[in-house]
Amino acid sequence: DTGVSQDPRHKITKRGQNVTFRCDPISEHNRLYWYRQTLGQGPEFLTYFQNEAQLEKSRLLSDRFSAERPKGSFSTLEIQRTEQGDSAMYLCASSSLPPSLGAGRGVDEQFFGPGTRLTVL
Partner 1 sequence: LAKTTQPISMDSYEGQEVNITCSHNNIATNDYITWYQQFPSQGPRFIIQGYKTKVTNEVASLFIPADRKSSTLSLPRVSLSDTAVYYCLVGEAGGSYIPTFGRGTSLIVHP
Contact residues for partner 1, defined by CB under 8 A: 4, 33, 35, 40-45, 55-56, 58, 91, 93, 97, 101-115
Nearer to partner 1, 77 or 91 (CB): 91
Among 110, 56, 118, 109, CA closest to 82? 118
Nearer to partner 1, 70 or 102 (CB): 102
Smallest distance, Å, CB 33 to partner 1? 7
Nearer to partner 1, 47 or 82 (CB): 47
Among 42, 40, 76, 80, CA closest to 61? 80
Please give the Cα distance from 98 to 55 (Å, whole number): 15
Smallest distance, Å, CB 81 to partner 1? 26
Q: Are strands 10-13 and 116-120 parallel, antiparallel or unpaired?
A: parallel
